[in-house]
Amino acid sequence: MTRSYEGKGSPEHWGELSEQWQTCKEGMYQSPINISHPVSANLPPLDFNFHTNVKSIVNNGHTIQITVHDEDDFLLDGQIWNLKQFHFHSPSENHINGQRFPLELHFFHANSQGELAVLAVMLTPGKTNPALDILLDVLPTTVHQEQALQQDMMLEKRFPQDKHYYRFSGSLTTPPCTEGFICLVMKRPVEASHAQLARFARALRNANNRPLQPLHGRQITE
């Protein structure tokens, strides 16, 4: 049985599909979540540095993943977190105050100890975002064909000007659902036109969002 987002391999069965995937059903710090009632911790705006010099892009059958050269980072808790790859979920996995968005970008970062932090950015229908076209133009049309790229996407332009975020402890949203992730979700979404959002959804082919998971008393800070 292979994992999927519908049918017998769907998210509610992930924990039973493999011994190694039990955290998917037994974990207490699972992602995604509905972000509401955050506690104020005066988190400063995130100071990041994103050229997103892209190395390769692939539709791996679950998402479209873009691997970048190791040169983008941000500082958090006094440590440097390096961007490794980013990918998409359509519709969004996390919700903000009960609101789901058409698209969520996940930027995976690691520190020198190999700990992981995921930075999520929501996309919302609005004005056409010319910066997104660079990305849309290279989206793969076939599955499992990794395509080498050499492109500076300057993704920073796609980030909201307001760099405040929510923070909580979460997990991978795909098996093995490993916990211990720092999850950061930018408060402000990025606008994209309906046509642009539709192109992302078409490239992904199917919805690839894991359903919301219980908070189990976790605190969300802002």
Q: Which residues are identified as catalytic? A: 62
Nearer to Zn ion, 106 or 199 (CB): 106
Closer residue to Zn ion in complex, CB, 37/83: 83
Handedness of CA 160, 161, 166, 168 (dihedral sign): positive
**Candidate ranges 77-85, 106-114, 151-159, 204-212; the one touching Zn ion (CB under 5 A):** 106-114
In whole angstroms, the minimum distance from the beta carbon of 78 to Zn ion comes to 26
Output 106 or 158, the one with its CB closest to Zn ion: 106
| Beta-sheet strands, E only, within 52-135 | 53-59, 64-68, 73-76, 79-89, 95-96, 103-110, 116-125
Check if the beta carbon of residue 66 is closer than 8 Å to that of residue 107: no
Q: How many CB atoms lie within 10 A of CB 150?
A: 9
The residue from 62, 95, 106, 210 that contacts Zn ion (CB under 5 A) is: 106
Per CB under 5 A, 109 contacts Zn ion: no
Closest-approach residue to Zn ion (CB): 106
Tokens for 169? 């402890």
* Residues near Zn ion (CB under 5 A), total: 1
Apex 150 CA angle, 174 and 205, nearest 5: 40
Residues making contact with Zn ion (CB under 5 A) = 106
